[in-house]
């Protein structure tokens, strides 16, 4: 059996790290991870999208969009959701 890693598959279909297509893919995946983490935290706290939206003065549909596609979220809004809406702490890591 010829087993491949996820990175090997991404290399084959999207190019290696540093190529425009691969960089676009990695950004999109990271945006999905952010949305997933927000949804998981909200569900763990037992609050609805509407309750979270109310805590940060946004609409429920906005929270739904963030959870399903966090790509166009500003840092300010991300901090508001995590710190004010969920009562958590946001840590951002920069890798060079």
Q: Where are the domains of the chain?
A: 8-85
**What's this model's pTM, rounded to 2 decimal places?**
0.77
The answer to whether residue 80 scores a pLDDT higher than 90 is: yes
Closest among 26, 27, 58 to 42, alpha carbons compared: 58
- Per-residue confidence at 67, pLDDT binned at 50, 70, 90? very high
Domain with residues 8-85, CATH architecture: Orthogonal Bundle (1.10)
The answer to whether residue 1 scores a pLDDT higher than 80 is: no
Closest among 86, 92, 61 to 74, alpha carbons compared: 92
């Amino acid at each position: 059996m010829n087993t491949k890693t996820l990175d090997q598959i991404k290399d084959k279909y999207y190019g290696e790290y540093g190529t425009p297509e691969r960089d676009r893919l990695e950004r999109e995946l990271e945006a999905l991870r952010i949305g997933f983490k927000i949804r998981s935290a909200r569900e763990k706290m037992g609050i609805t999208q509407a309750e979270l939206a109310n805590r940060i003065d946004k609409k429920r549909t906005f929270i739904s969009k963030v959870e399903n596609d966090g790509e166009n979220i500003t840092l300010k809004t991300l901090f508001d959701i995590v710190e004010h809406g969920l009562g958590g702490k946001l840590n951002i890591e920069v890798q060079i």
